Structure 1
């Protein structure tokens, strides 16, 4: 990553690294790839309709072995980066519950912008529902 990269480039780079890692990890698990793609597409709407906190709790509830959790963790890892709204927080829900309203709203906006890259890159690198079933 270039030291003078724009925020948009940083979002794309972070998402690309994580999506490629998932593609490698799940190379033989098309079901997980398709689930991740589907959940990544749904997450921005859920945030818009229900808010970041409710959506985070929903995605977190399945536990660390579920595909929902991988999206929860990805978003939390991004929002806790330096210069991000939840910088220094160890967990997405920690950021949600321990931040003031301005920080929460900034995180919600940033989540939507970041998830746009996640959706695009997941669609490019992971299997999608419309592809042949396994």
Structure 2
């Protein structure tokens, strides 16, 4: 579980860092996080559920045995909990200051483990800002 948490944590930190760099599109942030996922040894194959299928990545077949990032990276929030733009492979929307985005990377291996980190992040003129003030480490209760 610790290995999966560390991978998801790194995925979240890449999302935060990339959201803080002006001019990125939603699909670029999703792609950056998926690269971290694969580099950490997990599949990043996308379940498209009605969306166009992204080009396959041959690494995903082998990595599937370790676990997988099943869904889009996240979404905006505002008047609704889940709002456009969505951070996924089909979304070309530029993310700009004053947007609040919710990246929620996860890893799942059915019947073995599941791990997700979800934070609200404000995009500012000077970078990104966490809207939650909480510890960002794994709590292990024995």
* TM-score of the superposed pair, with normalisation by structure 2: 0.39
Structure with larger RCO (C-alpha < 8 A, sep 6+): 1
Q: Give the helix-richer structure, 1 or 2.
A: 1
Q: Give the strand-richer structure, 1 or 2.
A: 2
* TM-score of the superposed pair, with normalisation by structure 1: 0.40
